[in-house]
Structure 1
Amino acid sequence: MSPGPAFFCGGKNIPRRAVLSGIAGLAGAAGGAFLPLPLAHAQDADGFFARLTDRAARRAATPYDPSAKDIPQALADLSYDALRDIRFDPRQAIWRGETPFEIQLLHLGRYLRTPVRVHTVENGRATPHAYRPDLFSYGRTGLDPETFGDLGFSGLRVHHALNDPAVMDELIVFQGASYFRALCAGAVYGLSARGVAVNTARPEGEEFPGFTDLYVERPTAAAQSIVLYALLDGPSLAGAYRFEVTPGTTTVTSVQARLFARRPVEQLGIGALTSMFDFAPIDRVGVDDFRPRVHDSQGLGMQTRSGEWLWRPLNNPDRLEVNVFRFVDPAGFGLMQRVRRFDRYQDLEARYHQRPSAWVSPRGPWGEGEVILVEIPTPDETNDNIVAFWKPAVPFEPGRPVSLDYDIQWTLDGPKPDLAWCLDTAAGHYGLPSTELDDTTRRLGRKWVIDFVEGPLRTLRTAEDVAVITSADWGRVEGVAHVLNPDTGGVRVFLDTMAKGAGPMNLRCHLARDGAPVSETWTMQWRPPAAA
């Protein structure tokens, strides 16, 4: 395992690990969806983003320079808690008291060793911000920052009066490789987004290109959004980004991505989201924890251009699993947290019921491709073990630049279909509790309990007014039942399923009336445990 960027989880900033390299035996087609690069941008009156795009193209035409400035050994040796003791002085925030948004800078150290250059932009002109010791307090670290020289920063965070007009809350953070994460009103930090994912869960190992330069455009005194730009660099590609962040009950990050390949990339991930799933009622085998569930995200939602909605609950598998969903011009996808009641989590510190969902909505056609879901085994909640992204079908290689635009909605509610949707999934013992099972049936059998809510179910009088439509690959559905659920106002479906051999078994289920769907489609992949 290689250490990744430090992120908030379980009430702390802790190092989450990308357990993605060195995995053998996974197949995947090359990908990339490509549009001509525009010479001008409607929201780029001063040409700044066009100039950054040109810089990225020129970078990609030269060999990658992996050299990075070494940080002082004293910073590299800091403990996790000591690094947290280094704090930016909020009185030094850029544009403090001048605009609705202000910028705080983030220190290098321990897990965050790659310097990022930070600039502010006014009238198309970029001004660099140099590291100064007086920007930070060093607490009990015992460090002498006067010896650090031109250190640089690990990233930045934007503050805004998101929840209270009198309080400047964190709104969005850019820190570590190409990671960023944002908040909507009432949320606490959870899942992250990435500018790009390169060869995630492939045998050759994942590559983590990073933002080398961050630019923040000075907002007006009445601005309702803030614009940031970034230059990306890595062994296989370079790129330029424009982010327009609009805070609110749903915070929207509008992204323009322009990518150029140095060498062919087998698997390019666009709109990449990274999250954590430890356990939930879908699988508590071996879990000894007072909390009913622990996860930043509960499931992967997807919407096709034709209007079909899919829901895939997340797992913490016992081996790496990769699911592929093929689409043409997806309408959207995202990692969602749908269960919002505190009593379903019982965590006063992590506040998992307040972790935001993130929904990616393409702007313009993305063509053919795949939504890929990667689930990685994790022993606890300190690892980001879930990745979802779009992999376009056309190969990404030198001479075929990517130009894709999309929005990310960070929300506590989230896009949902007009149809009924899946609120929660639980799983357990095949058959009835009193059923006597042989070892093979006990191992291959699984009961699934799915709660559909809202949509046409609001006016449902009896469960018999809808039918349950199921299918199974590499297995079979042996028993189906459904009842009204007075607690949710929806329908609860019970499926007894039997896998065929080692699997994995792929299941689908939706509700229908007179042959027409009245719910989104629940889909699940399950692999039975190995025989003893």
Structure 2
Amino acid sequence: MALQRYSFPLRDGRPREDELRCHSWQVNVSHIKPWLALVALALVSFTGPSDRQRASDTAAASEYEFSHESVIEEARRLAAREYAPRELPENSPLMQLSYDEYREIRFNSERGIWRNEQVPFRLELLTAGFIYRTPVTVAVVESGRAHNLLGTPDLFTFGPKVQRFAGETMPLSGFRVRTRLNSRSTWDEFLSFQGASYFRAVARDTVYGLSARGLALRTAHPTGEEFPAFTHFWIERPAANATGIVIHALLDSPSATGAYRFSVIPGTETVMDVDVTLFPRRPLDAVGIAPLTSMFLFNGSDRSRIDDFRNAVHDSDGLQILSAAGEQIWRPLANPTQLQISSFTSTAPRGFGLVQRARKLSDYQDLSSQWHRRPSVWVEPKGEWGAGAVELIEIPTDFEGNDNIVAMWRPRNAIPAGSPWRTSYRLRWSRHPPTISSLAKVVATRSGPTRDGRRRMFVVDFDAAASAPERLRLEIGSSAGKLSNQSLTYNPLTRGVRATFELDPANATLAELRLRLLRGDEPVSETWLYRWTAS
């Protein structure tokens, strides 16, 4: 059931990220009818020079009033109508492009939006085609007025394999944004929206890794997943002294519409405030809010099925949660042999996220993929989220090009149809998400059979925040089987404590394990959770 990012030859198992700036599961997403009678601008067909001139004249005359309330009202209006998908036809020349051909259509950085203006951001457009079958409308907003952008041929360069498109106006699939993130001399890409409701960002000294989505519907559900799509974007022109950029988006799908507002400030930590207004067409009973999507193939915890020269391959290695009660939880990720769905907490947490803790090149021994520079993403609810659970979905995969990890907030009750539903949250993209600094963090989890093969041995290493094992005790539990041979030892490699124990599962095929370090009755470490399975 692994969901495929790409089904074409990759370098290091993924597209070249300086050329194809977004990953997207190969899914069938849809396009709605264009907004405010701008039909000719929402889906631009291939045209000749005279038609392109007319399209340019139309664009100049298409300026219109804009506010976020207008996005909300359009989402409300759409929800009252039957869903109307629109996408490039299968026989479109753009849909016949291979990966290598698609990446030969590049945005000309010399034509970046705002490039010649006193604006600290530059906007670049991404074309439809290849796996990106849903054309979108991209508009810029200034002083409350918006105008739609066209993918005119002067905005792109066309390689030898795609010269047949060189004179055409291209439909768009999304956009990316650049700023001076890592130095004053280089305009780095730090944000991309492309494919369904996917988007991703980086912070300083990180590279693209995991993604976020606007909405998840029926993920890992027996009836199949539904992929809502952003179909329109409005990007506010930043002021000359702006530290961030504001993006509005309209979402549509068979089950719901939505109006989104993203306020993004890049930096050492790229912070994204997200405001959401949903209009369900039908009750949403399997919905994921603030969904994160990542990849975990293997690490040292269990590589029994892996034959690979590298020590580890993953965009993220754990789910971190800070519960409403203040308990910090660390759940190492797994690549199971069967689909696994786990739920944590019963009320909204203070935060949760998919985290990359292994930060050394030597942790991976992969000189090109830069796994150690992949960002972590931390979700912070804003306002009252109510009852529900953080849900973790782990999908079996044998290929690092598959996104097989999903983490999201799942409300306990269905979101009813017929009225707006609102929520807000903050996403923090960084190397190190917020933690309780006084608590020791897990730095490694390892597991293997005991010498007689009858039990499973676990080794959990903590960092130097807990370094005196003789003053600590181990609190440990399992939902099945019997635990034995528990011990705490000083680890000179981490300058922290190593906890070890053995599990005899008896006849159980699954055991939920829980462990933390205590000094007296006070916790001095985060809580380690782990799901052991027999296969």
User: Normalization by structure 2: what TM-score?
Assistant: 0.88
Post-superposition Cα deviations, 1:438-483, rounded to whole Å, max 9, x if no partner, equal xxx3xxx32211111143x2xx4x3111111001002232221111
In the other structure, the counterpart of 2:136 is: 116
Contact 2:256 2:280 in 1 (8 A): yes
1:141 is aligned, of 151, 158, 161, to 161
Query: Does residue 275 in structure 1 map to residue 285 in structure 2?
Result: no
Distance 1:20 1:221, change over 3 A: closer
- Matches of 2:243 and 2:347, distance apart in 1: 34
- Using the TM superposition, name which of 312-321 and 393-402 deviates more: 393-402
- Matches of 1:243 and 1:16, distance apart in 2: 20
Query: Does residue 152 in structure 1 map to residue 168 in structure 2?
Result: no
Greater relative contact order (CA < 8 Å, ≥ 6 in sequence):
1
Query: Where in structure 2 are the equivalents of 1:380-459 lying within 5 Å?
Result: 380-418=399-437, 419-430=439-450, 435-437=451-453, 441=454, 445-455=455-465, 457=466
SS in structure 2 of the partner of residue 57 of structure 1: helix
Query: Does residue 480 in structure 1 map to residue 486 in structure 2?
Result: yes
Query: Does residue 525 in structure 1 map to residue 531 in structure 2?
Result: yes
Q: 1:12: Cα distance to partner?
A: 2.5
- Matches of 2:91 and 2:192, distance apart in 1: 24
- Matches of 2:350 and 2:290, distance apart in 1: 13
In the other structure, the counterpart of 2:514 is: 508
In the other structure, the counterpart of 2:43 is: none
Distance 1:255 1:180, change over 3 A: same
- Matches of 2:492 and 2:328, distance apart in 1: 25
1:12 is aligned, of 12, 16, 20, to 16
Contact 2:285 2:413 in 1 (8 A): no
Q: 1:145: Cα distance to partner?
A: 2.1
Q: 1:3: Cα distance to partner?
A: 5.3
In the other structure, the counterpart of 1:202 is: 221
Contact 1:243 1:256 in 2 (8 A): yes
SS in structure 1 of the partner of residue 73 of structure 2: helix
2:283 is aligned, of 256, 259, 264, to 264
Contact 2:379 2:427 in 1 (8 A): yes
Distance 1:60 1:209, change over 3 A: same
In the other structure, the counterpart of 1:191 is: 210
- Matches of 1:19 and 1:66, distance apart in 2: 17
- Using the TM superposition, name which of 491-500 and 183-192 deviates more: 491-500
Percent identity over the alignment?
42
In the other structure, the counterpart of 1:284 is: 303
Amino acid paired to 1:211:
F
Q: Number of aligned residue pairs: give it.
A: 490
Query: Does residue 105 in structure 1 map to residue 125 in structure 2?
Result: yes
- Using the TM superposition, name which of 332-341 and 474-483 deviates more: 474-483
Distance 1:81 1:303, change over 3 A: same
Query: Where in structure 2 are the equivalents of 1:24-423 lying within 5 Å?
Result: 48-70=67-89, 73-98=92-117, 99-145=119-165, 148-149=168-169, 151-418=170-437, 419-423=439-443
- Using the TM superposition, name which of 162-171 and 134-143 deviates more: 134-143
Amino acid paired to 1:452:
F
Amino acid paired to 2:133:
R
Structure 2 segments unaligned to the other structure (5+ residues): 29-64
SS in structure 1 of the partner of residue 68 of structure 2: helix
Structure 1 segments unaligned to the other structure (5+ residues): 22-45
- Matches of 1:498 and 1:124, distance apart in 2: 66
SS in structure 1 of the partner of residue 502 of structure 2: strand
User: Normalization by structure 1: what TM-score?
Assistant: 0.88
SS in structure 2 of the partner of residue 163 of structure 1: coil
- Matches of 1:408 and 1:523, distance apart in 2: 24
- Using the TM superposition, name which of 83-92 and 49-58 deviates more: 49-58
In the other structure, the counterpart of 2:474 is: 468
- Matches of 2:251 and 2:372, distance apart in 1: 33
- Using the TM superposition, name which of 395-404 and 101-110 deviates more: 395-404
Amino acid paired to 2:165:
P
Q: 1:496: Cα distance to partner?
A: 0.9
Amino acid paired to 2:510:
P
